[in-house]
């Protein structure tokens, strides 16, 4: 057993971070596991640099959770990487402000947006969702999505061209 692990004070809080990938053949690969007291862009920059030094040549798409500085860390090590914000994180962040009584209706309305087969269909569903009868609650949900959409650029195109 590693001396570094056995000498750690067990009263401290440590988080484990597991990095995996899907290779070009569609198989999952475990890239590594790291322990850290907290997560930040500097931590991920170190992880990405380690992966590069271990031989990981390229990352085609990185799905991230919105951590500030994470896309910059990725692009500094892998400049050609396409950054995609995780839809699940975007939805969860939006829904945390919705009242419980509106939650079921709001999530049903959002499904039409996120399950749309094309960008145009998603934008139409988003517009219909905004004009819906629960407008005040919808506004709370839509504002973070709109803010993210401004930053998405070609991400939307990549999202809707998936197979």
Q: What is the pLDDT of residues 115-151, one digit of tens each?
A: 888 888 888 888 887 777 666 666 667 666 666 555 5
When pLDDT is cut at 50, 70 and 90, the band that residue 161 belongs to is very low
Tokens, residue 50: 């380690």
d(CA 117, CA 22): 23
For 135, which DSSP code? Answer: H
The β-bridge relationship of strands 28-36 and 82-85 is unpaired
Q: How do residues 76-118 score in pLDDT, each as one tens digit?
A: 999 999 988 887 877 787 788 788 888 888 888 888 888 888 8
Higher-pLDDT residue of 136 and 68 is: 68
């Amino acid at each position: 057993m590693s001396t570094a692990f056995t000498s750690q004070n067990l009263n401290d809080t440590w988080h484990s971070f597991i990095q995996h990938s899907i290779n070009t053949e569609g198989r999952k690969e475990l890239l590594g596991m790291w322990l850290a007291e907290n997560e930040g862009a500097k931590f991920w920059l170190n992880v990405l640099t380690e992966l590069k030094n271990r031989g990981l040549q390229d990352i085609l798409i990185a799905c991230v959770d919105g951590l500030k500085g994470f896309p910059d860390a990725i692009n500094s090590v892998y400049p050609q990487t396409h950054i995609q914000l995780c839809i699940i994180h975007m939805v969860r962040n939006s829904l945390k402000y919705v009242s419980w009584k509106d939650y079921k209706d709001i999530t049903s309305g959002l499904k039409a947006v996120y399950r749309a087969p094309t960008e145009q269909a998603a934008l139409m569903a988003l517009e219909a969702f905004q004009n819906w009868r629960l407008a005040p609650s919808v506004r709370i949900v839509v504002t973070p999505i709109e803010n993210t959409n401004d930053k998405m650029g070609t991400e939307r195109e990549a999202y809707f061209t998936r197979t």
